[in-house]
Chain A
């Protein structure tokens, strides 16, 4: 009998200890006059937000607003928010990650109907090449040549890598190839992929270590790396996809009004210029025009919606279903597994 008494005491002690540790996690109460916004974002725009937040705090709307910021892989961030990570604003790398939050009832389904289709920055899929472009890589067909080693993250572990796949597929469609031919080319392309890293960051490490001839990357990251003094020459293919990065306010945000003010600020010319300085193509056309030297016009540029595939929603299922998707089949064929 006494045994149980002691066991009970131990249980209680542990419960108290657990409760105490749990308490450490909760934030200290903020000054009631201030507003605190929690921004949960994917990792690449960290430097941009580092400049944007202080700039916003200097505006009338941003006075007395403090921010907590969290950066990580886009899919991880979406999952963390779904699991209860406190967020007022989510800035992710691709629409489907926001749609995951819509499905969980955390973001309004109408987020795409906001100004600029709910997007805050654009970019392009580009080819990062070796110094002097020794393999003379210009267009997508050059990636299919035997002996050309391509580095791209795996589209199943990196949401961002799905942009690369759709850029390639869309480019061939733009060149007049049929759906079937474009899929065949995707298979050829992935036969030339010698490393499929789990994330764009790891893929950059791989390329920097000396592996591969071409690295499928994003214009903003290449520009940012160049601005940091890294030698990363890149080629923009004639046809490529316009990457669109979404931003949305959470339904359960404590201060939707302020959160929306921040979103409005991010689409002002001043804020868009900061994004441009950090390598992102502005969504605001006037700012984009002003920075044309940095962001040349690509006539063969297309968005995911312009591919006529029904947008990301359908594309996710058709291309990236881990069992039945086109890319799952291609990975099987690349791996020498039939069926």
Chain B
């Protein structure tokens, strides 16, 4: 980053800028070290503290695998649902005018502010056995998706919204005037522009869903092999004094999230290649 910045020709006071860049780069590096790299390194260290064999045994134990499958499956469904519903929500919020739009816009972020354990309790009260609206999905896999949806809802909306706002409606009008149908215009003109935003939001939502604990712990039932997600499995290992196995399972979860974020990043790069050309 710094090298591209300092060779830019219009920078006159190069040395001062270079120093400033170095300072900010140093600070950011240190910040990321303290906040992200060191904790993850410590986690990996803990995971391998019992040796490679026990690491492998811990991550391939049937209970860990069952929890991992359930978590990834639910998170994938949640990511897809978010892609569709989040984009629709963003669309309505940007393109349509209605009374109370500002209020709805503000409500979107509320799931972030609510402690997730409270979210879990609320969902249980609403969609549990004593549901006032007659919907009882608590302790089923549907509840897992529901709770994950609740805590990840803002991501796609917030990544798509600004793109949509910047998007010139003249493009769409031009497409129309050239005879493109509504769907064709969306598919060929609007969607390619939104795709990077959707992908970013989906990646964030997926990563958050995979690691979610508070909201899920209340509403999933936590039956091992059936409705126990990875974060709850990890908690069980910690409670049983087996922190190495807990760390091992967490490392796998992180690795998968990382791979997902990375591949979505690549996809995003691919989708936006025309903009950079």
Contact = CB atoms under 8 A, between A and B. Distances in A.
Contacts of B25: 7
A105 B167 CA distance: 65
B135 to A, nearest CB: 13
A202 interface: yes
Contacts of A193: 223
Contacts of B224: 154, 156, 196, 331-332, 334-335
A147 to B, nearest CB: 16
A209 interface: yes
B223 A211 contact: no
A324 B114 CA distance: 39
Interface in B197-256: 217-218, 221-226, 232, 235-242, 245
B162 interface: no
Contact of A7 (B22, B34, B139): B22
A133 interface: no
Contacts of A157: 222, 232, 235-236, 239
A7 B26 contact: yes
Given A3-B19, A6-B22, A10-B27, A210 B62 contact: no
A205 B214 CA distance: 14
A158 B239 contact: yes
The B interface is mostly helix, strand or loop, or mixed, namely: helix
Interface residues of B, number: 41
A77 to B, nearest CB: 12
Contacts, number: 118
A14 B235 CA distance: 33
Contact of B240 (A11, A156, A206): A156
Contacts of A202: 217-218
Nearest to A103: B241
B194 interface: no
A331 B67 CA distance: 13
A331 B228 CA distance: 11
A9 B30 CA distance: 12
Contacts of A320: 240
B260 interface: no
Interface string B28-65: 00110010000000000000000000000000011100
B160 to A, nearest CB: 35
Interface residues of A, number: 41
A322 B64 CA distance: 11
B128 interface: yes
A100 interface: yes
B78 interface: no
A122 interface: no
Given A195-B221, A335-B225, A209 B30 contact: no
A34 interface: no
B222 A205 contact: no
Contacts of B240: 156, 320-322
B217 A195 contact: no
A79 B66 CA distance: 27
A6 B245 CA distance: 42
B112 to A, nearest CB: 23
Nearest to B224: A331
B239 to A, nearest CB: 5
Interface string A1-38: 01110110111001000100000000000000000000
Contact of A75 (B15, B23, B63, B239): B239
Nearest to A336: B225
A328 B139 CA distance: 21
A198 interface: yes
A18 B30 CA distance: 12
Contacts of B125: 209
A322 B245 contact: yes
A322 B237 contact: yes
Nearest to A7: B26
B268 interface: no
Contact of B61 (A195, A196, A323, A335): A323
Interface string B247-277: 0000000000000000000000000000000
29 contacts: A2-B15, A2-B18, A2-B22, A3-B19, A4-B22, A6-B26, A7-B23, A10-B26, A100-B241, A157-B235, A157-B236, A194-B139, A195-B221, A198-B236, A202-B217, A205-B121, A206-B218, A209-B128, A209-B138, A210-B129, A210-B130, A320-B240, A322-B240, A328-B63, A332-B224, A334-B225, A335-B63, A335-B66, A335-B225
Interface of B: 15, 18-19, 22-23, 25-27, 30-31, 34, 61-63, 66, 121, 124-125, 128-130, 138-139, 217-218, 221-226, 232, 235-242, 245
Give 4 closest A-B pairs by Cβ, nearest first. Answer: A335-B225, A210-B129, A7-B26, A3-B22
